[in-house]
Amino acid sequence: MTVYFTKDHEWISLDGDVGTVGITDYAQNQLGDVVFVELPDVGKALEKGGDAAVVESVKAASEVYAPISGEVVEINDALTDAPEKVNAEAETGAWFFKVKLSDTGELDGLMDADAYKAHIADL
């Protein structure tokens, strides 16, 4: 599977025309202890860069932006009852939602893992 990253610290892992989206390990470290996650509704149309979800920690609430345009086809309900999973499994089991891509050309503006590592090294 190919994984892409945004400058806003979201990741998207592709399986065909469906992308699984979450926040990076860097983002969860910056947030601190996650206490609440608000997920989008299944069927919601997302626009690249638009608000998709909210993650709240003991420090702050942060928007999770859509890394690509498409329709939400599944959400990770486990995060509703156990938002702390984001701290333990940010880039694996604590994905936020799955989106059916509407324009794969939008992937061109995202970073690969090496580019993302270079990006966070400069922060």
25-53 pLDDT, tens per residue? 999 999 999 999 999 999 999 999 999 99
76-106 pLDDT, tens per residue? 999 999 999 999 999 999 999 999 999 999 9
* Domain coordinates in residue numbering, the chain: 2-103+111-121
Q: With 80 as the cut, is the pLDDT of residue 1 above it?
A: no
Query: Would you place residue 72 in the very low, low, confident or very high pLDDT band (cuts 50, 70, 90)?
Result: very high
- Dihedrals phi, psi of 116, to nearest 5 degrees: -65, -40
The CATH number given to 2-103+111-121 is 2.40.50.100
Please state, in angstroms and rounded to a whole number, the distance separating the CA atoms of residues 94 and 22: 7
Cβ atoms 38, 53 nearer than 8 A? yes
DSSP state of 116: H
- In one letter, which amino acid is 80? T
Helices (H), strands (E): how many in the chain? 4, 9
